[in-house]
Structures are given as C-alpha cells and as structure tokens.
Chain A
C-alpha cells in the first residue's frame, strides 16, 4: 500500500476542499436480480476511508451493477448500502454526493468544458464567483485550464476523460466512482491517465471505487482489490495478497499467469505436505505454511498453482524436490521477458518466465531441460465453488 503521508505537502489543499469528503462504503449482503438473472449475489464489502478500491473481474460478472447500486441508479433486490453509518439504500442518486466517471464519460455535448464542470456546482447553488474559482482550480489540477472554453466535442479522448474526472471531483464528492474509465483509450494514453487518476486521488484523498477488467491496472493502482466472478466476490485483498495468496483457482488464473495442476493431499512430513499430482504420477512437496496452502474443505478438488517466474529451469541437473525433466516446446520473446514452455508429458506443459538476459541465454526448442517447482513458491488452492 502506498504511504499517504508522503503527500503531506498537499494537505493544505485537502483541508481547503473540505475535511469531510471522505466516507466509508459498506455493502452488506447485497443481491441484485434482473428478472431471472442474478447479476450480483450476497456481496459483503467494507471500503475504508480514502481507499483506492478496485472491482476486478471478467465481463458480465456484475461490477457495473455493483457500482450503480452505490451511485443509486439501481436499487438492490436485497441488502443494504451504507456510507459511513448512514443507510443510503433508498436515497435517490442526486442526494448521494458521489462523483461518477462514466465509461463513455457522458459529457454534456451541448456545453463547453467550463459548463460541464460547473454543472454540479450550479445545481448546488454555488455563487458565480465561487463556481469560477473552483472550476478554474480543478481544471488546473487536471491540466486543462487552457481548454476551459472549448466545446467538449473538440477534445481528444484523454482530455475528455480528464474533463469527466474534473466534473466529478469539483463537487467534492464523498465517494469517487470510476467505471472502466480507461477502456476507450490507446495504450500509451492509458498509462498516462493511470498515473493522473492516481495522482488526483492521492491529492484529494478521496474514497475511490474503480471498476476494471484489466488486471495490470488493478494491481498497479489499488490499495485493495475485490475479485468478482459471476456475480460473486471471490476474494478481497491488497494486490500482493491477491497475487501471492489467491484463495481459489479462479483468482489464481484470472490474476497473472500460472501453472495449475490438479492434486490430492497425501500426508504431512515434518514442516511439509505431500501432494499427489495424477497428471505426472508424482508427489509434490509444499511447505506447510499459510502462504503456501490456502484454506480448503475435505471434499474440495485441489490444485497447485505455481507462477511461471518462480519456476527454476536448467539444462544441468537440479537437486532437491519437485524436479521434472521435459523438452522445450516453445520459446516466446516478449521484450523484457522470455517465456519458455517445457513439455513434461502429454497432459502437462509448464510455462516458465525469465527476464531477458540476452540471446546467449535463450534455450533451443527441443532441448531436454530440468524444471523445479520450488516448494516455498507453490500454492495449493481449492477449486472455485458454484
């Protein structure tokens, strides 16, 4: 988690913009059904003050639906939405004081940049001078002050997005809601905007909920992430927790690359557990720690997951446990990294990743190599339920 105090020099600004525009969001036991489709099921999330919280999940898993329930556009079928301790479940959207940035920005096409940003302030009956000052200030923050009188249709995608952000921020919302705001942008602009959003969020210290299906975005930006699948929240945790300690095979597969193979528990030996992997007819040693073995029930189907970058690969013999021999089936060069796929047998090919160290280190396809799955890097996880 990034240290918020590093931004201490911005504190006067925060104070000026209101001490109380931070809020916790508490979703308790929320279910949303559209007719027979259950879009969100039994959701329990507590988002802390000032936190950058991300909803991550594949398309159609219910992220937007959840966000819209927080904004008040949908009404949960079951459960409660609370800001701090206030029950907001049935409060109408215009009274919630959330700032939303829509996926398509939803800028008012008939207004200029200034008018767009001033809209929320006019509604709040701020006087003319106050509006002018605040709009100027926030546009400076998003570095658009020279575009103040432009028609929004004359702005580039990235600029439009910053207008949308400014429009949401200027009303000093309790909660900032962002629905895939970067999905329409090209890769380079995306990178820039990520940094920009993060900078503004840190500066304003505002509770932010961010929706994305891009895992890199989620990992780099968030304080905490909630991983969704099919309307259910699978895991909530910091980026490192989610990546290193996934609770089930869905999370492990969805975030980052991994090698998964089905295993069954055999026995405990000292500080290690022994698992049998039917695909390779061998036993696998795993350290018996909380990091390496997730919670599971007796009757769960188990998998072992090992990230490609933790797998050791060598042409020479490797000593120790969990060493297998295979043949290099494919070498992929991506620039900074080199992926080497090692075929152990017909069922199993293990992917390994190394940083690029020059052509002399690339293995040839067809070479016989040894791979080791380090016992402190493996994680045993149950199969996702439902």
Chain B
C-alpha cells in the first residue's frame, strides 16, 4: 500500500517536474548563462558593463525603475486605502454600486489602458484641450507624459491591489475590537491609528510589495509614455531589438534579482506570525451616515471616483467609433461610425489578430487549467522530498517580470532542445502560447492551492473507505470541490492573456501576432480608431468571460486577485 502511494506520487510528479524543468528552470538558467558570456567566453564583462561607466544608461534605468515603483506604491496606497475605508465603513446611497465600479481598472488590459490615458490626458489629450478651450487659454493647462504619465497610469491600474486587500481586511476585523477601544474611552481618530490600522498592516505590506513588483515589471506604460525616460524593463527590450542578447540577458538577471528579492521578503513577512482574528463569523459593520453634508460629500466622492475610473473606458469606446482618416489635425474627433468594427469582421487581415489571440489564449488556459490542478494537488496533498523546491519553481514565473520571461524563452528556444522536440521554437506559432502558459501557471496554482488547503484530508479518506479508487476519488470528490479555485485562476489567466503585451512584443511573428501587437501597429500608423476598436474587443472578451464565470460558475472577479 505504501508503495502504491509512492508510485502514484511519482507518476503525478513526472509531468510536473518535466514541464517546470523544461519551461521554467531551463530558460532561467539559459538567461543566467548568457549573461556570463561575451563573444562565447565565460566572463563577468557584461556585469562590468552594466554597472560601469560604459553604459550609464543601464544604471540610470535601474534607478529609475526603483524610483517609479516606490512612487507607484505611494500613489496607489493614497487612492486605494481611503476609498476602501469609505466604501466599506460607511453606508450611503449608491455605496454598493460605487464599490463595484472601484475594481473596473482590472478589465482594462494595460496597453489599452495606457492608450486611453494618452488620449485623455496627453499633450493632445481631450481633457487638457477641453479645459484650454473652455477657459480660452493659450496653452494646455497640464498634460501627462513621461514619468508623470507612467505614474498616473500605475496609480490607476494598481490601486485595486490596495483597495481589495484593505476591503477584505476591514471586513475581517472583529467590530468588537474597535467597540472595545471606544468603550475604553478612545476617540475615533485614536481607534483608527491604534486599533484598525495595525490590524490592516499585514495586508497593506503585502499589497505594497505586490505593487512594487508589478511596477518594476511594468512594460506597457513606459513603452508608450516614457519618451526618453529609461526604465529597466524597457532597456531589455531595446537591447534585444538591437541584437545585443548578452546585455539583454544581463539586464534580465538584474531586474529579476530585484523582483525576486522582494518576493522573498514578502514570503518572509507573511510567514511571520501576524495577528489573525481569533473570532469568526463576523459580518462587516458599517456606520450609517446621517449628517446630510457628510452624506452628500461621500456620494460626491463616489461619483467623482466613478467618472475618473470610467473615463478611460468611455474614451476607448468613443475612439473606437472614429473611422480611419477622419480625425487628423482637429482637437476633437469629427465623425463617428461602426466602420472599425465592421472592418474587423469583413477584412480577414484585421480579424486575424483577434483569432490568433483567442486561439493562443485558449491553448494557454487549457494548459494552465490541467497543469494547475495536478500541480496544486501534488503540492498540497502529497508528501515528497524536494517539495519546497518545486513550490519555488512554480512561483518563479510569477516573480519574474514578463519581459524577463520573454527573454528567457528566446535564449532557451532559439536553438533546438529536447524540450522543444528538437525544434527551434522562436519564430514559430507555439512560442507565444507557451509563454502565456508559463506566465500564468502561478495564478492557477495559487488559487487552487488556497481551496485545496481548505479541503479536509478526511474527505479523500472517506471516499477511499467507501471503496473508491484513487482516480475515481480525484475525479468525483477532489475536482468538484476545488473547481471554483481552479476556475477563478484560469479566468484570471484568460483576462491577462488576452491583453498580454510585454512577452508578446518580444516573441510574436507576423502570422501569430495577437491583438495587443496589432494595437501597437495601428498606433504606429496613427490609426487610433482601429487601435481602440481592438481595445474594445479585448475589453469585451474579458467582460464576457468574467460574466460567464460569475453567472455559471459563481466565480467572483474580486476573489481572483
């Protein structure tokens, strides 16, 4: 019996280990190797170049990346925490509606979001120009671009991390703790700083680290907005485009080192004993706002927030209705029609990227779905030597910036390998679905693991005791129970894969170019309308999938982050 168990574990581990070794570990090592190579010789020269005076741009880019990330954390927190506090602690008209709107940024893929921001607040943006015309100013009063642009986009797209962690932490705080503090004579201000805030800290620190990592890795915003401003993730792309793979590898290693050290710090922080609530079954408690001035003030905040949050979506929709060539030198678009959407379905050339994105996303999602299930199962329910190592391996793609994952794949599969069945994968169709698959493994594993850990071991034992063989138990008991977790992970993978840009831009070919790449191309040709229409398609697909997931499988978007 013992041997049968061991055999099952081993059978389960073989595919997991093969996939992780071949597509995660080996590419990472390939990059590491490349970074120590110069003209075919093993050397530290590349690192010398990176930090040395020969290429000051690199060091500057590293510094800029860190600087932007720190500021992004600050601004995201500044928006996310108060908003979460207001929407979760006070009851006022429309509260539920506003709090649903608050997570809208996540349906906007990063590239599309950046594009919308450009058209809204950029030099030629609608908002600055509208203000200029309204007040008859000679110049636009403000415009975002360069570093301010990047920061605004980051704050917009990343504040939901703070919003969601704060909301869930607030809802988990036992109201009696705060009531006890009031009872002991503290005022509102003291209660917040001495009781509520300390209880929120663990979640906030986790959110801060997450935002930091995501901004370090951010690619789309600098890509479209940076101008001459250098950040590390973009430098990797330029090095690759210039054909300097060795420098690209070195930059990747350094960017990864920063990201991974933050990840490790986060793990260490979370493993410390924090003060979880001992009591259970507490609902949120909200103070009803009775003071009419305050009440309408809150409602105003809600409405303003809603407008700001939805403006990019609206802009995108509007732009997508602008036919090609109809909006050139004018401040505002002149004509609207469904031309761009009609072309999508009539012109096979324009339809193709959509088809590519759908096919590649589906392949990747099917992959992560199955791989996520067996990997989480092995990690949670089986014991074997080297489990920690496997756990780390699974999470590597999550810690690595997307650009680095792309570089890893280029360096690993620009030559025939056993893992690619002796083929060169770079330049083929399969490299992109593979990249998506690898990038989104951790999403499914994480959400599935969370559910599996809740599942009592005795359920499997009960099935076995009733005479069910392992596979039957797995199929009939384990899978149905963990399905919500698997689905919400896969849903998130779908959402991200449809809008994926950083690895796509490194790996695409003409024949498998996904929507994001085509958006970039259309922008280059100043065909804003078509680009926006593509963006709308992405948003539409994401919304449809989210709706289906919520409606038929009860998977909530909020739970997926």
Contacts and interface: CB of A to CB of B under 8 A. Distances in A.
Interface of A: 71-73, 75, 90-100, 102-104, 106-110, 119-120, 123-124, 167-168, 171
B335 interface: no
A100 B477 contact: no
Given A100-B462, A110-B480, A75 B467 contact: no
B41 interface: no
B462 A94 contact: no
A91 B1 contact: yes
B481 A100 contact: no
A108 B1 contact: no
B467 A108 contact: no
Interface in B164-209: none
Interface in B444-465: 456, 458-459, 461-465
By DSSP majority rule, is chain B's interface helix, strand, loop, or mixed?
helix
A108 B459 CA distance: 7
B472 interface: yes
B389 interface: no
Contact of A106 (B4, B456, B468, B469): B456
A93 B458 CA distance: 13
Residue from A98, A104, A107, A119 whose CB has the most chain B CB atoms within 10 Å: A119
A119 B468 contact: yes
Contact of A104 (B456, B463, B476): B456
A75 B462 contact: no
A120 B461 contact: no
A94 B459 contact: no
A95 B469 CA distance: 9
B543 to A, nearest CB: 28
B466 to A, nearest CB: 3
Given A109-B481, A167-B466, A93 B461 contact: yes
A92 B467 contact: no
Contact of B462 (A72, A91, A106): A106
Given A73-B464, A119-B463, A123-B472, 20 more contacts: A72-B1, A90-B1, A93-B1, A93-B464, A94-B464, A94-B466, A94-B467, A95-B467, A99-B465, A99-B466, A102-B462, A104-B458, A106-B456, A108-B459, A109-B459, A110-B481, A120-B467, A123-B468, A167-B462, A171-B466
B461 A123 contact: no
B2 interface: yes
B1 A71 contact: no
Contacts of B476: 119
A124 B462 CA distance: 15
B311 to A, nearest CB: 43
A94 B470 CA distance: 9
Contacts of B1: 72, 75, 90-93
A119 B476 CA distance: 9
Nearest to B455: A109
Q: Which of B459, B461, B467, B472 counts the most A-chain CB atoms under 10 A from its CB?
A: B467
21 contacts: A75-B2, A92-B1, A96-B465, A99-B465, A102-B462, A104-B456, A104-B458, A106-B456, A106-B458, A106-B461, A106-B462, A108-B459, A108-B463, A109-B459, A109-B481, A110-B480, A119-B468, A119-B476, A120-B466, A123-B468, A171-B466
A71 B466 contact: no
Contacts of A110: 480-481
Nearest to A97: B467
Most interface-central of A73, A102, A106, A124 (chain B CB within 10 A)? A106
A297 B356 CA distance: 86
B321 to A, nearest CB: 46
A167 B463 CA distance: 10
B11 to A, nearest CB: 16
A106 to B, nearest CB: 4
Contacts of B466: 94, 99, 119-120, 123, 167-168, 171
Given A109-B481, A110-B481, A119-B463, A94 B458 contact: no
Interface in B24-38: none
Interface in B390-440: none
B381 to A, nearest CB: 14
The winner among A72, A99, A102, A171 for most chain B CB atoms within 10 A is A102
Nearest to B468: A123
Interface in B102-158: none
Contacts of A96: 465
Contacts of A167: 462, 466
B486 to A, nearest CB: 13
Contacts of B456: 104, 106
Contacts of A124: 467
A101 to B, nearest CB: 9
